[in-house]
């Protein structure tokens, strides 16, 4: 593997959600540990699943991987990190300040913004704290999907600039005391990230045009902040062992076209190609096979052959029929990155618009490609994107024009400085999201959400806003917050999108539990890109399809409503192909 030749101390694995970053990062960690080095595998994804891959509980403490000498792992848990961060700030002043002031500091550190900063604080320690982590030869970062990762890697520079130029109150970092220490740590983190001898960026993608465009965009944005040591890994390429039946030939042709048209900037980078395997990448033994070629599957497997009879037709059409009966409302497509949320959201929106409804399709995903999925205009369908940069600009302008209107020059300067905090983006995106929720009272609003971890941060902001409004208004007046609309099943339908694979289903199940704790009950599940539902003929594809049966059964047990969308020979791009996704018989699951 080229990306593991002469490896530096830090390796960052990133890419569009669902491309196999975690599998590649875990297999790389095993490989490096096998060379006799000390390796720490770290997940910075709020929806981490490296514990699931190794089938152990990891969490927010360094944990040795059983049976793998030299390899340990750590999952940065946002909530635990936030709690520890608050305690570090509050503990020194708890006995010195009145209870009311302590309560005020605690409140200022209770939002999603602080959660993000706390996770980021843990991240910078891994880069700069040699006393705690100097014993590791390599630290491998399995990052969140690209939009979240770009923000994470930009934050050291953003906070360094904010602290270097600011004189106001950086409340997300706590009291002003100790900011010099923050400034030094963040500046050191920037130095580590931009040194090619210390840091290598591994851009993981699939042999799909949208995935390769995504890693090209990521590399361009990170190059602007000085992270330029990049390698490309194209994962999950269909091997010759899959045979030449029509669906296999079509997929192989599609992958070949995508690889031949790799964007120029990443075409020049060192590249590795990894083949698709018949099984899921779970467990040490299976992970060790990821970098080896697939053996031909020349004979049929009787267990795999049973898939033809076991898969029950569960068309997306049945869900659209039920959704239409409401005449209006909010439809949230959620799930792990790369499972096809954008495609399913677009297919549902197109189907509703074709039935004569007014539909607004939008996304909160920083890495979404709605316009690439929808080529043209559909009567009755409006398509938009909640762009974090645009939302932040609009929010800053609005605050300056309202709160800043009556301030003197010094006051306006202080307010403008405060609004330059990177945390402002979270507030701005939440406001745009709230407007979309409010709009669903009149017509259909379909939201393609960001990958799981980022979505949970957004919902946390929604909950924080609800609690603040409830505290201010009290019991005397009625009110309706965005969270209350999300909790009302007559107004909001949450559709969890997954793949028939162990990790995506486990993560979606975890997301369902998180939503239920917030009083939001998912309405339906969609199993996307199912090989089993495509009824393949080749022994290789049948064996891979057989691994889906357990996960499909698990989804059926979790949800009274589900749809299964088969793997298609052609990517569902454009109105005609999206419309075809929701066509078919009206048999429900």
21 is catalytic: yes
CA distances for 272 relative to 105, 212, 258, angstroms: 49, 13, 15
CA distances for 525 relative to 98, 326, 540, 564, 581, angstroms: 50, 18, 27, 9, 15
Which of these is catalytic: 15, 17, 18, 147? 18
> What is the crossing angle of helices 112-128 and 424-439, to 10°?
140
Element (H, E) at 448: strand 444-448
CA 172 – CA 109 distance, rounded (Å): 6
CA distances for 352 relative to 15, 220, 364, 376, 467, angstroms: 32, 37, 20, 16, 34
Which of these is catalytic: 14, 15, 16, 21? 21
- Apex CA 118: angle with CA 113 and CA 124, to 5°? 125
**Nearest partner of 121 among 83, 91, 95, 94, judged by Cα:** 83
Question: Nearest 5°: phi and psi at 151?
Answer: -65, -45
538 is catalytic: no
Which of these is catalytic: 14, 15, 23, 119? 23
Please tell me what DSSP assigns to residue 6: S
CA 262 – CA 509 distance, rounded (Å): 35
Please tell me what DSSP assigns to residue 239: P
DSSP 3-state assignment of 458?
Answer: helix
305 is catalytic: no
18 is catalytic: yes
In the chain, count H helices and then E strands.
Answer: 26, 15
Please tell me what DSSP assigns to residue 134: T
104 is catalytic: no
Which of these is catalytic: 45, 142, 216, 418? 45
326 is catalytic: no
User: Do 395 and 432 touch, CB atoms closer than 8 A?
Assistant: no
Which of these is catalytic: 14, 15, 17, 22? 22
| Size of the chain in residues | 589
> How many other CB atoms are found less than 10 A from the CB of residue 516?
11
User: Do 53 and 41 touch, CB atoms closer than 8 A?
Assistant: no
Query: Which residue shows structure tokens 């020349």?
Result: 298
Who contacts 93 (Cβ-Cβ below 8 Å, separation ≥6)?
102, 105, 175
503 is catalytic: yes
Which of these is catalytic: 15, 17, 20, 340? 20
CA 183 – CA 194 distance, rounded (Å): 17
Catalytic residues: 18, 20-23, 45, 503
């Amino acid at each position: 593997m080229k990306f593991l030749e002469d490896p530096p101390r830090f390796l960052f694995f990133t890419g569009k959600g669902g491309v196999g970053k975690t599998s590649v990062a875990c297999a790389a960690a095993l490989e490096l540990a096998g060379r006799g080095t000390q390796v720490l595998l770290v997940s910075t994804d709020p929806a981490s699943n490296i514990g699931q891959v190794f089938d152990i509980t990891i969490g927010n403490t360094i944990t040795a991987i059983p049976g793998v000498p030299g390899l340990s792992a750590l999952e940065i848990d946002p909530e635990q990190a936030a709690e520890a961060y608050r305690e570090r700030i509050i503990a020194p002043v708890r006995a010195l300040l009145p209870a009311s002031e302590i309560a005020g500091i605690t409140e200022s550190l209770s939002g999603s913004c602080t959660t993000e900063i706390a996770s980021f604080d843990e991240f910078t320690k891994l880069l700069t704290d040699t006393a705690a982590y100097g014993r590791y030869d390599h630290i491998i970062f399995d990052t969140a999907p690209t939009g979240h990762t770009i923000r994470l890697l930009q934050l050291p520079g953003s906070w360094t600039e904010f602290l270097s130029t600011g004189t106001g109150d950086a409340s997300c970092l706590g009291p002003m005391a100790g900011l010099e220490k923050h400034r030094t740590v963040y500046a050191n983190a920037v130095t580590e990230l931009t040194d090619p001898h210390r840091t290598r960026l591994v851009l993981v993608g699939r042999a799909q045009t949208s995935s390769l465009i995504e890693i090209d965009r990521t590399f361009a944005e990170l190059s602007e902040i000085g992270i330029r040591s990049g390698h490309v890994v194209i994962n999950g390429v269909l091997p010759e062992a899959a045979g030449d039946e029509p669906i296999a030939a079509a997929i192989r042709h599609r992958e070949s076209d995508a690889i031949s048209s790799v964007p120029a900037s990443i075409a020049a980078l060192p590249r590795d190609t990894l083949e698709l395997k018949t099984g899921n990448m779970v467990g040490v033994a299976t992970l060790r096979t990821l970098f080896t070629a697939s053996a031909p599957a020349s004979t049929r497997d009787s267990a795999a052959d049973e898939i033809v009879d076991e898969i029950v037709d569960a068309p997306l059409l049945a869900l659209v029929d039920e959704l239409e009966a409401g005449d209006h409302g909010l439809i949230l497509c959620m799930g792990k990155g790369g499972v096809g949320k954008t495609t399913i959201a677009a297919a549902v929106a197109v189907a509703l618009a074709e039935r004569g409804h007014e539909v607004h399709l939008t996304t909160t995903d920083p890495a979404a490609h709605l316009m690439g999925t929808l080529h043209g205009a559909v009567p009755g369908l409006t398509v938009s994107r909640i762009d974090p940069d645009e939302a932040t600009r609009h929010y800053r302008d609005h605050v300056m024009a309202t709160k800043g209107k009556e301030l003197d020059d010094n006051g306006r300067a202080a307010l403008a400085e405060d609004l330059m905090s990177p945390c402002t983006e979270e507030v701005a995106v939440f406001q745009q999201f709230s407007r979309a929720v409010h709009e669903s009272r009149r017509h259909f609003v379909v939201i393609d959400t960001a990958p799981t971890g980022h979505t949970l941060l957004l919902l946390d902001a929604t909950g924080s806003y609800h609690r603040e409004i409830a505290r201010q208004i009290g019991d005397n007046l009625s009110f309706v917050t965005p969270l209350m609309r999300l909790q009302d099943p007559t107004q909001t339908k949450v559709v969890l999108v997954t793949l028939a694979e162990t990790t995506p289903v486990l993560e979606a199940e975890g997301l369902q539990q998180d939503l239920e704790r917030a009083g939001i009950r998912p309405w339906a599940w969609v199993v996307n890109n199912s090989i089993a539902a495509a009824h393949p003929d080749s022994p290789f594809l049948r064996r891979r399809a057989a691994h889906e049966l357990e996960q499909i059964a698990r989804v059926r047990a979790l949800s009274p409503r589900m749809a299964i969308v088969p793997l298609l020979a052609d990517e569902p791009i454009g109105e005609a192909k999206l419309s075809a996704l929701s066509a078919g018989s009206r048999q429900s699951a």
